[in-house]
A and B are shown apart, each in its own frame.
Chain A
Amino acid sequence: MKHPYETLPDEAYWRRAVAAPAMTEVDPVAPPQFRIGRSDKVATGGSCFAQHIARHLVQNGFTYLVTETAHPIVPSHLAERFNYGVYTARYGNLYTSRQFLQLLRRAYGFFQAEDMIWHKNDRFIDPYRPQIQPDGFSSREELLADRAQHLAAVRQAVENLDVMVFTLGLTECWIDRASGTVFPLCPGVSGGEFDSTRHVFHNLSSTEVIADMLEAIDFIRYRNAAARFVLTVSPVPLIATASGRPVLQATTYSKSVLRVAAEEIMALRENVEYFPSYEIITGSYNRGAYYGSDLRSVREEGVDHVMRLFLRHFGAVEVSRKPIAPSLGRQDHDSVLADASEMVRVICEEEALGKSAEH
């Protein structure tokens, strides 16, 4: 009798699936339960890596759902500066599962902390999306009005999306002790004032991430029963950690929790798929070639590999591979630096942590 390993397909074997193929041909995607049609309305959210998905969907003729578009009077360069179209609604990066869940609950009036406003000099910062406006809002009234408009756009997205692609980014977060509000950025970094009696650090466990995401999925499906989900884990390491552990360990913990959570969520709900952008970028098969010289930013070639496979498996679309510079690799700093301009611009509040620490 044959033992089980004798009948396994190539994809189950490391050498055949990972070590032997050319770097750009490695394909660790399992056949998904569903496909995304060109007319399916796809919403995006999550950490900054999620921004690439929207861009590539649009480029390949898919329907990217944007419910909070810039007004037509606004020229495109200003719309981009003010973060319109980066995600389906102008919520900025949703780094944690708790932030995502609270956004949904706030949109429908189930989570009230609406007096939450930060200040930076004479400007007003929305703590839920602190970098959504380059210099914050001009007045408290305008911030509140814009927030109400934004939450209406979130509701519209929830009720109209066909597929939600959500990128799990971080487990570390800062919470307002009184209200339970989770912030995308530590208070004081990009507005507001840090108060150790009020603001507490929390590192979400896999149990918490799973519970948050299941509640978020159920919350959306209660209002939109046919909604399908694609979960990904951001391959971008933490820029800084407040966990007390070295940042490399903290990154491994965070990404491991998110990866485990994604797997379990997929097992617990129908029509939830995991897409391995994390593995495509971090896998040892590419010898770090998909990271920039800071070993954190993802190079365009990496994004291209991720999106090629995403479109192949979910969209049944074959996108030709972009040529890769022969000298790719972390040893070759000159070429990496030369290619820096090719790195994709992504809006990342988390970057503010790095800037804050450097000054």
Chain B
Amino acid sequence: MSKILKTSQNRSLLIVGHSHSTAIHNAASHLKRDGIVEVDCDIIQLFGRYPDFSNEENGEIVYNTSLIEEISKNFDKRSTKLIAFPLYGSEYYMICFPNTTRQFDIMVPGHDKVAKDVELVPFEIVYEMAREKYKKYIGIIPYIQNKLNCEAVYILPPPPTESSTTILNHIAAQSKDIAQRYASLTSGQLYNSWLTYARAAKDICKEQNIRLFAPPARALTSDGYLQPHLVQDAVHGNIHYGAMVFQDLIDHFFDDNT
């Protein structure tokens, strides 16, 4: 981290989310252990434990009561200042590798770079898919905010790496078949998918008055990809990226942080 961060009060950050939580939590733990910050960081990892924490019942969205209890207990345990929700975030990546040979791209408004000779899926469709996926999950943020009377924010996942090789190597580690099928896939296709999902998340947050933390500008290349030294794999940021997000959070929410 470029600057030393401390807080005068021993306050706590709680991270509730999926795989993108890990980098932020690991960074926060390191910084605390090394005495660089005094902010405690707890994590409730949803992946595996709460695979589907939000359901629609009689037209209303209800949240998993065990999860709500766990968040409440964690909140009460320390004087938690902030709950950050890096919910889901890799859907944009997963839809780029469907079980088909039909590669696609999306022409995002204001960003009309698309791969040549691949099928275009209308932006509005993918945007709707993203909205449908995120809407019921992101709604947990204002729910928790009201229930616990605390600050809560949504953390947008980082964009992909610009390196198509890194992406394909990551895929090959999971499945050689898929890697072969998508050998010509470009990082641009993933980026357009990320942009579409990011736009849906931003719009939902705006509609529900939720504060959204976008990936730090300094973490991105001039074309908007994740900087190479911040890349964990094709879809996740590494601990250095996590530290940047963490720094942004404490800059905004924790006073006396120098």
Q: Which residues on A are within 8 Å of B, measured CB to CB?
A: 70-75, 78, 82, 133-135, 137-139, 141-142, 145-146, 149
Contacts and interface: CB of A to CB of B under 8 A. Distances in A.
A145 B124 contact: no
Given A138-B109, A139-B109, A139-B112, A73 B129 contact: yes
A223 B99 CA distance: 33
Contacts of B129: 73-75, 78
A82 B102 contact: no
B112 to A, nearest CB: 4
Interface string B106-121: 0111101010000111
Tell me what chain B mostly uses at the interface: helix, strand, loop, or mixed: loop
Interface residues of B, number: 22
19 contacts: A71-B100, A71-B119, A72-B98, A73-B95, A73-B98, A73-B126, A73-B129, A74-B125, A75-B129, A78-B128, A82-B124, A134-B124, A137-B122, A137-B123, A138-B109, A141-B112, A142-B107, A146-B122, A149-B119
Contacts of A138: 107-109, 123-124
B138 to A, nearest CB: 19
Contacts of A135: 124
Nearest to B123: A138
B104 interface: yes
Contacts of B124: 82, 133-135, 137-138
A74 B119 CA distance: 13
B123 A71 contact: no
Given A71-B104, A133-B122, A138-B108, 12 more contacts: A71-B119, A72-B100, A73-B95, A82-B124, A137-B123, A139-B107, A139-B109, A142-B109, A142-B122, A142-B123, A145-B107, A146-B120
B121 A71 contact: yes
Contacts of B114: 145
A72 B125 CA distance: 12
Interface in B120-153: 120-126, 128-129
Which of B102, B109, B114 neighbours the largest number of chain A CB atoms within 10 Å of its CB?
A: B109
Nearest to A123: B124
Contact of B120 (A78, A82, A133, A145): A145
Contacts of A137: 122-124
A74 B120 CA distance: 12
B56 to A, nearest CB: 15
B112 A142 contact: yes
Contact of B121 (A74, A75, A134, A139): A74
A71 B114 CA distance: 16
A71 B128 CA distance: 14
Contacts of A149: 119-120
A78 B125 contact: yes
A139 to B, nearest CB: 5
Contacts of A141: 107, 112
A74 B125 CA distance: 7
A75 to B, nearest CB: 7
A134 B124 CA distance: 9
B229 to A, nearest CB: 31
A134 B123 CA distance: 12
Contacts of A78: 125, 128-129
A73 B112 CA distance: 21
Contacts of A133: 122, 124
Given A135-B124, A138-B123, A73 B107 contact: no
Interface in B219-253: none
Given A71-B102, A72-B100, A75-B129, A142 B95 contact: no
A138 B200 CA distance: 14
Which of B104, B122, B124 neighbours the largest number of chain A CB atoms within 10 Å of its CB?
A: B122
A78 B133 CA distance: 13
Contacts of A73: 95, 98, 104, 121, 126, 129
Contacts of B110: 139
The 6 closest A-B pairs by CB, nearest first: A138-B109, A142-B107, A141-B112, A72-B100, A139-B109, A73-B95
Contacts of A139: 107, 109-110, 112, 123
